[in-house]
Structure 1
Amino acid sequence: MAHTIVMTRVLHVLDHSLPLHSGYTFRTRAIMTAQQASGLDVRGITGMRHAANGPVIELAEGLQFHRTPGEASGPSGMRELREIGALADRIVALAATWRPDILHAHSPALCGHAALRAGKRLGIPVVYEIRAFWEDAAVENGTGREGSVKYRLTRALENRAVAGADAVFTICHGLRDDLIKRGFDGGKIGIAPNGVDLSLFGEPPSRDAALADRLGIGANGPVIGFVGSFYDYEGLDDLIAAMPLLLEREPDAQLLMVGGGPMDAALRAAAEVSPAGDAIHFAGRVPHREVERYYSLIDILALPRTRSRLTDLVTPLKPLEAMAQGTLVAASDVGGHRELIRHSETGVLFAPGDPAACADVLAAMSADRSGWDAMRTVARAHVAAHHDWSRNIRRYQDVYHHLLDRLPNGALRTAA
């Protein structure tokens, strides 16, 4: 007999969360906010890697998060096991007073294994969601090497988390397909794609002339922009190399770089010696609440990611946010971008690792503005149909209900 669920409680098990700002925390915020609005009772719990001062129970942007205090020590391997154990114990302790029906863990695999331990002790289902394979992310950010012992151990830990979970989600087809190639049953693996809260994106903001003057950006344009972290795999050196070629055809073109990261110094050095140096502007890191002002200056968001396992398998969030707020997108033709962008309909794709190809696309888009409004309209409609969180969370609800209906004896908590 099916269960009658008055209010399902879902505990999200996380690496880190708000009030820290990152793509990881913004996706979590979107999921939890949409689930809360749909009637679910949700909370988050973070492991020891949430590196921010704050109370053990913290309210951030209307969402409640519980922390795992302390810091794990010991040699590599032992330290991670201690992190898993501490987080699992914290989940079980919280469950004594706030009884979750579902544990929804999010990568990395440490969170998945902590949830599996706690779920077994509590007798409740575990959903594990993979946002990226962290061994590949380590390779791309320079903290790991493909094929190393650490790489293989991280992959094995991921595989065990997938095998142990009652249900699995990935954020895109690339990750799901890779798991199926490893031998996992595709019927167990759903997709919860990156999305946006469309209620946050109304009319595109008008151009902030005062900010443009402060940055030294002229009014004629076009303004090419990048907003995000300056990692090597983002291919921003190719974007800077494309600027002299673009200026040959669009003399008033400008490049606005908003953000920072490991490649910051190298990119600024490349801009200084570039013939297009006067047209390249670095805004530095800006508070999240200010980002919309910078977007108001950008005509085309450029995303020149290089080709790698990470960029072919993982979809980014930035193209969706840009499309939602009416900014055109030009992106490299890697797997993660192809899942989000329909070439010449919702954006334009160009060959990765090729500054000339990047310049050609940017010049062509800049020279013919007659189709800009139509592309903006189609892109926003695509986001609304396929990447609106208020719709996407239904994928989770269906799986939650299926797992809860499989529990023996039908003993579900329906009220506090």
Structure 2
Amino acid sequence: MPAADRPHRRSAVQRLPRLLGNASMAATTALRSITDDPLTFGIQLARRFPTARGPLLAAARGARGSDRALVETWLEGDLTSTREALDALAGRGGLSRLAAEVAQAAGRPELVADDLAAHPATRARAAWQLGEANEAVTLLAEHAPRSRLHRALRAELALMTPGTRLRWTLRGQTPSNAPRDGVLHLLTNSLPHTQSGYTVRSHEVLKAQRGADLAPTAITRVGYPVVVGGLAARSVDVIDGIAYYRALPARLAPTPDGRLAQQADALAALAGKVAPAVLQTTTHYPNAIVVREVADALGLPWAYEVRGMLEQTWIAGLGSEEARERATASERFRLTREREAELASDADAVFTLSGSMREDLVSRGVPRERIELVPNGIDAAILDRTPPLSADARAALGLPRDGFWVGSTSSLVDYEGFDVLIEAVRLARAGGHDVRLLLVGDGVARPALERQAADAGLGDAARFTGRVARDAVTNYRDALDVFVVPRHDRAVTRTVSPLKPVEAMASGRPLLVSALPPLLETIGAEMERLGSAFIASSPGSLAIELVRLTADASRRAQLVDAGRRRAAELTWSAVGSTSRRSLDAVCS
């Protein structure tokens, strides 16, 4: 063998045990799901892995009549049409088991939970999705007491109940008096395997902490990224000098509490290796449960970063007002809120994104003095960048130079409010203004939005790019004459602050946002005074602002200047300073 080939051969041999271990974990996890309920497994597979939709769509063609049409519609991603079809089927005497599974995947569990003819396991999952946790567990206790689903839901109910501690003990190491330094993070997921607002913020927080000499390290949840398709995952990824460790046992425990115990083992083992001075994690409560146990066992302080309210995000994903009302009144909703408050109160420091989120936590009993605001930020270097003219940026992307282009870079989900933006563009064009739409990103609402744009007669004046590479997002943002964040007024949008408006301001783009508390807090008083906010869920209000901006270059320039000033106050270096101050205090 040539000497030059030997390192590559050794590297391949060294990778083999890791690949086999990852394959073993994926195979055993899939086998459990297939054995328990092959139908549900197929539906979930299609949701998680879009590449699996082709074969599943072909298989669906073997179904009969309305079931076949329903599954084809759902697999094609048309959520609105799927929900309409489900309503029609339910009105004609109930859903088949296949249709019931699609109903849950489409956010319509209320069509299943009360149907006494439905399969008990299907009804139980629907009840759980509606937050009726004890009803779900009781159904399974009566009809499938030995099932893995019954054990899993019982364990999940216990984990969300305040006062429950994880059954876990530290093995093989004891608390040490050796010098400790740095912050060890437990994250749900991370770059490079997942591109999302969560992973981008996590990476920026870690870099900011490194800039503040906090020596951060991270580990992701047990099984990740293998459980989302990353079969070639390594034990550690290093990105921009930040190490992301993976907890990849050969076999995942079959119940939620078992997997959290595996996570605690991995976190404690890594803590023994890197000797952190403090542990830190993010919502939601399973992460906090693990970090609290490990911190107590090792005698370390810990910090909890509350990035969102789990129960609000869950409810926002339900597809009808009835489902949302039932879920809001449910025990799961109440227990989740109480559990998050309990864990935040137990943390030595709490970080959160906005004043509205802080007030929510305080209203639940979390001590105000323990909560630090750590808003979304930007790299200060962006402020030194001179953005191109929007027409030049469009030309570089193959888009028309002419027209007044408005839009966003975002996940396309219902609560983001892009239906409002499409209608506002239609109204502006009906008034004789050449306003055009560019939406960059993908999500469950995309098919419905594309259909709405087509029905509105926008034609080539509406462009949907789908998902683009992370390093290409800036180019598309530059192509916009106005960046719009048209979020609907929902519980989740009244507390959670997104990253994209800060990036838009820093990038030198005029910004319009829905007048919701976290967005108003993000843009600041000067931007609000200049008219950067419009009435949430009001296409007419947004259309008026868009038309005003098409005709007023000086106002656009004012918004750009004010936005850059505001963005300069929201840098990741400021986040690092806040982290340094707070974590030094809890470690002293």
TM-score, normalised to structure 1's length? 0.89
Q: Which has the higher contact order (CA 8 A, sep 6+)?
A: 1
2:239 counterpart (60, 75, 91): 60
> 2:540 is matched with which residue?
356
> 1:27 is matched with which residue?
201
AA in 2 matched with 1:287:
A
> 1:268 is matched with which residue?
450
Q: Say whether 1:8 aligns with 2:191.
A: no
Counterpart contact for 2:484–2:512, Cα < 8 Å: yes
Counterpart contact for 1:204–1:296, Cα < 8 Å: no
Q: Do the aligned partners of residues 111 and 197 (structure 1) sit closer, same or farther apart at CA in structure 2, a change above 3 Å counting?
A: same
In 1, Cα distance between equivalents of 2:472 and 2:180: 36
AA in 1 matched with 2:379:
D
In 1, Cα distance between equivalents of 2:276 and 2:464: 46
> 1:278 is matched with which residue?
460
More strand by share: 1
Once the 2 structures are TM-superposed, how far is the Cα of residue 217 of structure 1 from its aligned partner? 4.1
Q: Say whether 1:122 aligns with 2:298.
A: yes
In 1, Cα distance between equivalents of 2:274 and 2:390: 47
Alignment of 1:219-298 (within 5 A): 219-249=401-431, 251-298=433-480
AA in 2 matched with 1:114:
V
Once the 2 structures are TM-superposed, how far is the Cα of residue 203 of structure 1 from its aligned partner? 2.3
Q: Do the aligned partners of residues 390 and 165 (structure 1) sit closer, same or farther apart at CA in structure 2, a change above 3 Å counting?
A: same
Once the two structures are superposed, residues 324-372 of structure 1 have per-residue CA deviations (whole angstroms, 9 ceiling, x without a partner) of: 0101111111122111123445761111111111111111122111122
Counterpart contact for 2:510–2:557, Cα < 8 Å: no
Counterpart contact for 2:404–2:436, Cα < 8 Å: yes
AA in 1 matched with 2:305:
E
In 1, Cα distance between equivalents of 2:305 and 2:528: 32
Q: Do the aligned partners of residues 316 and 141 (structure 1) sit closer, same or farther apart at CA in structure 2, a change above 3 Å counting?
A: same
Moved more, 41-50 or 349-358: 41-50
In 2, Cα distance between equivalents of 1:346 and 1:35: 34
> 2:273 is matched with which residue?
97
Counterpart contact for 1:240–1:271, Cα < 8 Å: yes
In 2, Cα distance between equivalents of 1:176 and 1:344: 21
> 1:414 is matched with which residue?
none
- Secondary structure of the 2:384 match is coil
Q: Say whether 1:80 aligns with 2:292.
A: no
Higher-Rg structure is 2
Once the two structures are superposed, residues 211-252 of structure 1 have per-residue CA deviations (whole angstroms, 9 ceiling, x without a partner) of: 735977432321101111001000111111111211134532
Once the 2 structures are TM-superposed, how far is the Cα of residue 276 of structure 1 from its aligned partner? 2.6
In 2, Cα distance between equivalents of 1:157 and 1:264: 34
Unpaired segments ≥5 residues, structure 2 = 1-178
Once the 2 structures are TM-superposed, how far is the Cα of residue 151 of structure 1 from its aligned partner? 2.6
Moved more, 334-343 or 19-28: 334-343
Q: Say whether 1:301 aligns with 2:483.
A: yes
Once the 2 structures are TM-superposed, how far is the Cα of residue 147 of structure 1 from its aligned partner? 3.0
Once the 2 structures are TM-superposed, how far is the Cα of residue 37 of structure 1 from its aligned partner? 2.1
Counterpart contact for 2:511–2:559, Cα < 8 Å: no
- Secondary structure of the 2:424 match is helix
Moved more, 285-294 or 244-253: 244-253
In 2, Cα distance between equivalents of 1:21 and 1:153: 30
Q: Say whether 1:401 aligns with 2:577.
A: no
Q: Say whether 1:188 aligns with 2:370.
A: yes
Q: Do the aligned partners of residues 244 and 187 (structure 1) sit closer, same or farther apart at CA in structure 2, a change above 3 Å counting?
A: same
AA in 1 matched with 2:553:
R
Q: Say whether 1:392 aligns with 2:566.
A: no
- Secondary structure of the 2:513 match is strand
- Secondary structure of the 1:310 match is coil
> 1:36 is matched with which residue?
210
AA in 2 matched with 1:17:
S
AA in 1 matched with 2:225:
A
> 1:153 is matched with which residue?
335
Once the two structures are superposed, residues 26-58 of structure 1 have per-residue CA deviations (whole angstroms, 9 ceiling, x without a partner) of: 111111112212222110011136335211222
- Secondary structure of the 2:328 match is coil
CA RMSD of aligned residues (A): 2.3
Counterpart contact for 1:56–1:69, Cα < 8 Å: yes
- Secondary structure of the 2:184 match is strand
Once the two structures are superposed, residues 60-117 of structure 1 have per-residue CA deviations (whole angstroms, 9 ceiling, x without a partner) of: 232101112247554xxxx332232222111111122210100011111111111100
AA in 2 matched with 1:132:
G
- Secondary structure of the 1:254 match is strand
Moved more, 231-240 or 215-224: 215-224
In 2, Cα distance between equivalents of 1:183 and 1:80: 27
Percent identity, please: 30
In 2, Cα distance between equivalents of 1:344 and 1:101: 41
AA in 2 matched with 1:65:
Y
In 1, Cα distance between equivalents of 2:511 and 2:530: 8
Counterpart contact for 1:7–1:39, Cα < 8 Å: no
In 2, Cα distance between equivalents of 1:374 and 1:242: 23
In 2, Cα distance between equivalents of 1:89 and 1:403: 24
Counterpart contact for 2:338–2:364, Cα < 8 Å: no
Counterpart contact for 2:345–2:367, Cα < 8 Å: no
AA in 2 matched with 1:271:
A
2:345 counterpart (156, 163, 167): 163
> 1:378 is matched with which residue?
562
1:50 counterpart (208, 219, 224): 224
Counterpart contact for 1:202–1:325, Cα < 8 Å: no
